[in-house]
Structure formats: structure tokens, C-alpha cells
Amino acid sequence: MITQILHCPHCQGTDIVRNGKTRQGKQRFLCREEPCDGRTFILDYSYAGQSKQVKKQIIDMAVNGSGIRDTARVLKISTSTVIKEIKKRKLK
């Protein structure tokens, strides 16, 4: 048996337990560390727009002056995902 150490993508903690499955059958995990307060996550998202790396790229491209449609086309995600992420961050 192989033991894999998982790290929470939000707080990098290691107190992780399995927490059921998604509708698509992917394993869901629950972080029990204090800063996360019970946040759940999955390891491999089926839609690229949900991953932390893509969300960071959306913000970086917006700060550098890329338009919404340009960002969506380059990252191969929906324009509504780009708009939603920019509104969350309240970029000026």
C-alpha cells in the first residue's frame, strides 16, 4: 500500500480526510486545519477554470491589461468565469 501525503490548496495543511464523492465520481477531501474551517477540495478539476493556477493567471492577465475575451480564449475557459473571478478580486 502506498501512502500519499495531501496538502490543502488553501492553507497547505496536512490534516486531510476523505469527504465523499462529487456527482462525477471524483474524490472530495476535507481540510480539518484551523485556518480552513472545513473547506473541501478535489485534486483534479474537470473544468480548468476552477483550478487555483488558472484563477491566478486570470488576475495576472487582467492586471497586465488583457481583455476578458482574450483571457478566456488563451486559457480556454468561459468569459463568465473570467468576469466572476475579476469581480471577486475587485480589480481597478
Question: Taking the domains of the chain in order of start, what are their residue ranges?
Answer: 1-44, 48-89
Taking the CB of residue 83, how many other CB atoms lie within 10 A of it?
14
The CA R_g of the chain, rounded to the nearest whole Å, is: 16
CA neighbours within 13 Å on the CB side: how many for 6? 19
pLDDT at 73: 94
Binned at pLDDT 50, 70 and 90, residue 92 comes out as low
pTM: 0.59
pLDDT at 35: 87
pLDDT at position 37 over 90: no
- 1-35 pLDDT, tens per residue? 777 888 888 888 888 999 999 988 999 999 998 88
Across the chain, mean pLDDT equals: 88
